[in-house]
């Protein structure tokens, strides 16, 4: 297959659909750099307006279509220059942009980048609704807030409307630009990873190497907006598939269900009622004998001390690059606290308290045990308010990744 180098690449999806995971995978490929959200859609629209009402108007006797082409050319020049220099410095031939807001700016993106390729990333509505609600304990992200304002008494309906509106735009765009689009579902990405990615990279005209997956979570990726859960991830997991079965269908209006079912059918998903029933059935499947963990006789305090000491020792060199003090507070047990001190030559972990910590992480012994055994993801624990953070959030994330990841 002939390669298609240097074509702009976009991941198009609504929020909570797995775009951060896909970004990390693409960014690991030797030919592609995929930074965090660049907001190219809003940027292109703003640049177009500026160019159209300034430099394009110098073409006094030109037809309207010619003025539009001048403005589009200016936008293209600015963006390609910036990202061309970025990808060149990264030693890569292609760049990819993943901002979820781009889904609201597809007309301008397709005009500015007529040769672009688009990965249309979908995730079933129920799982997106569940994820959107459970990750919003401290407030809904800006992209979701308008839907909550419209449905303040029904968050399920709010998130359903968000999913429907955005994925409808994506589906219609895909139908109009089929030769430039590759349909990908989150479910296939995490359950049939190798085969799905082989097809994707074939579409991109790039070679796919299964061994690339071994480096996804160890390769350095640029900072950027996205799912913080990725910071605590070491492998591609199917754990989030099917959690939408916990959504009460009674909160979904009939008109919403009907519209979503039409779109589900177009994408290839089951109708909501059937999908919900299948999710609940899977969730009710009893654990196998080897999955049961007996903790009644376990001294969680001893477990915490032992495992935390092991973690600090095993990751000593990594902690040395984190200059600061992290206080870990254990609710209950007289609010016992521990200090992880990386300010000196040696990394120390000791029982004690201080008012001068850079950050504080509050976690119970039981939650720590559940994370360590893999029964709960650290980000899920945070979303469910099992972990509380005070102080410098970025510093806490750095320490948390080392303490709780793996």
pLDDT in tens, 142-189: 899 999 999 999 999 999 999 999 999 999 999 999 999 999 999 999
In our burial notation (b when 16+ CB lie closer than 10 A, e otherwise), range 75-98 reads: bbebbeeebeeebeeeebbbbbbb
- Which class for 152: exposed (0-12), middle (13-18), buried (19 or more C-beta within 10 A)? exposed
Higher local confidence (pLDDT), 336 or 112: 112
pLDDT, position 347? 84
Encoding tokens for residue 78?
Answer: 């600015």
- As a whole-number percent, the residues of the chain with pLDDT over 90 amount to 56
Angle at 322 between CA 318 and CA 323, to 5 degrees: 140
Encoding tokens for residue 162?
Answer: 């968000």
**Is the distance from CB of 72 to CB of 112 less than 8 angstroms?**
yes
| Range of lowest pLDDT (204-213, 287-296, 396-405) | 287-296
DSSP type of residue 139: -
**Is the distance from CB of 119 to CB of 11 less than 8 angstroms?**
yes
In our burial notation (b when 16+ CB lie closer than 10 A, e otherwise), range 288-309 reads: eeeeeeeeeeeebeebbeeebe
The stretch 356-361 carries a mean pLDDT of: 88
- As a whole-number percent, the residues of the chain with pLDDT over 70 amount to 90
**Is the distance from CB of 77 to CB of 50 less than 8 angstroms?**
no
Higher local confidence (pLDDT), 37 or 303: 37
pLDDT, position 406? 54
- Scan for tokens 């995971």, then name that residue: 21
pLDDT, position 4? 40
Phi, psi for residue 98 in degrees, rounded to 5: -125, 10
Residue among 221, 204, 398, 202 nearest 315 (CA): 398
Q: Which residues contact 5 (CB under 8 A, 6 or more apart)?
A: 31, 93, 94, 205
pLDDT, position 288? 37
pLDDT, position 298? 46
Residue 231, pLDDT above cutoff 70 = no
Residue 11, pLDDT above cutoff 90 = yes
pLDDT, position 252? 92
Distances (CA, A) of 278 to 20, 133, 263, 272, 284: 27, 21, 19, 10, 10
**Is the distance from CB of 276 to CB of 249 less than 8 angstroms?**
yes
**Is the distance from CB of 393 to CB of 313 less than 8 angstroms?**
no
Across the chain, mean pLDDT equals 87
The stretch 259-282 carries a mean pLDDT of: 94
Give the pLDDT band (50/70/90) at residue 333: low
pLDDT, position 377? 79
pLDDT, position 205? 95
Phi, psi for residue 82 in degrees, rounded to 5: -65, -50
The pairing of strands 181-185 and 117-122 is parallel
pLDDT, position 156? 95
Separation between Cα atoms, residue 218 and residue 125, nearest integer Å: 31
Distances (CA, A) of 214 to 31, 188, 198, 235, 308: 17, 18, 15, 8, 26
Residue among 87, 82, 95, 99 nearest 42 (CA): 99
The pairing of strands 359-363 and 387-391 is antiparallel
Give the pLDDT band (50/70/90) at residue 343: confident
pLDDT, position 19? 95
Separation between Cα atoms, residue 84 and residue 74, nearest integer Å: 15
Q: What 3 state SS string does 234-246 have?
A: CCCCCCCCCHHHH
| Range of lowest pLDDT (29-33, 63-67, 322-326) | 322-326
Distances (CA, A) of 380 to 141, 230, 367: 17, 12, 11
| Range of lowest pLDDT (103-107, 212-216, 232-236) | 232-236
Residue 290, pLDDT above cutoff 70 = no
- Scan for tokens 């590759």, then name that residue: 182
Phi, psi for residue 117 in degrees, rounded to 5: -115, 145
Residue 116, pLDDT above cutoff 50 = yes
Question: Distance between terminal CA atoms of the chain?
Answer: 39
pLDDT, position 291? 36
pLDDT, position 317? 75
Residue 289, pLDDT above cutoff 50 = no
């Amino acid at each position: 297959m002939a390669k298609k180098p240097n074509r702009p690449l976009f991941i198009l999806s609504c929020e909570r659909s797995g775009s951060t995971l896909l970004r990390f995978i693409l960014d690991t490929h030797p030919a592609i750099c995929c930074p965090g959200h660049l907001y190219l859609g809003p940027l292109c629209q703003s640049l177009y307006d500026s160019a159209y009402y300034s430099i394009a108007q110098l073409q006094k006797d030109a037809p309207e279509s010619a003025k539009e082409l001048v403005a589009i050319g200016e936008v293209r020049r600015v963006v390609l220059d910036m990202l061309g220099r970025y990808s060149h410095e990264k030693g890569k031939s292609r760049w990819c942009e993943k901002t979820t807001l781009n889904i609201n700016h597809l007309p301008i993106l397709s005009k500015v980048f007529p040769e672009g390729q688009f990965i249309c990333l979908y995730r079933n509505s129920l799982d997106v609704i569940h994820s959107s609600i459970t990750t919003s304990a401290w407030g809904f992200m800006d992209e979701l807030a308008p839907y909550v304002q419209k449905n303040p008494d029904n968050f399920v309906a709010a998130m359903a409307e968000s999913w429907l509106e955005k994925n409808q735009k994506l589906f219609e765009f895909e139908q109009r630009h089929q030769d430039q689009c590759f349909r990908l579902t989150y479910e296939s990405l995490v359950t049939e990873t190798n085969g799905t990615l082989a097809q994707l990279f074939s579409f991109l005209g790039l070679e796919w190497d299964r061994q690339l997956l071994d480096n996804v979570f160890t390769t350095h990726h640029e900072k950027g907006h996205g799912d913080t859960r990725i910071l605590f991830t070491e492998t591609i997991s199917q754990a989030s598939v099917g959690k939408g079965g916990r959504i009460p269908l009674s909160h979904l209006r009939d008109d919403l269900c009907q519209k979503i079912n039409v779109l589900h059918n177009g994408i290839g998903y089951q109708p909501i009622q059937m999908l919900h029933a299948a999710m609940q059935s899977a969730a009710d499947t009893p654990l196998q004998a080897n999955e049961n963990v007996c903790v009644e006789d376990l001294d969680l305090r001893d477990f915490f001390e032992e495992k935390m000491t092991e973690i600090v020792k095993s990751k000593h060199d990594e902690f040395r690059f984190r200059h600061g003090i992290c206080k870990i507070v254990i609710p209950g047990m007289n609010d016992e606290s521990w200090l992880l001190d990386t300010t000196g030559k040696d990394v120390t972990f000791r029982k004690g308290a201080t008012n001068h910590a850079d950050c504080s992480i509050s976690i119970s012994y039981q939650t720590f045990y559940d994370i360590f055994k893999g029964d709960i993801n650290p980000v899920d624990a945070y979303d469910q308010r099992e972990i509380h953070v005070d102080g410098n959030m970025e510093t806490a994330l750095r320490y948390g990744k080392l303490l709780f990841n793996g």
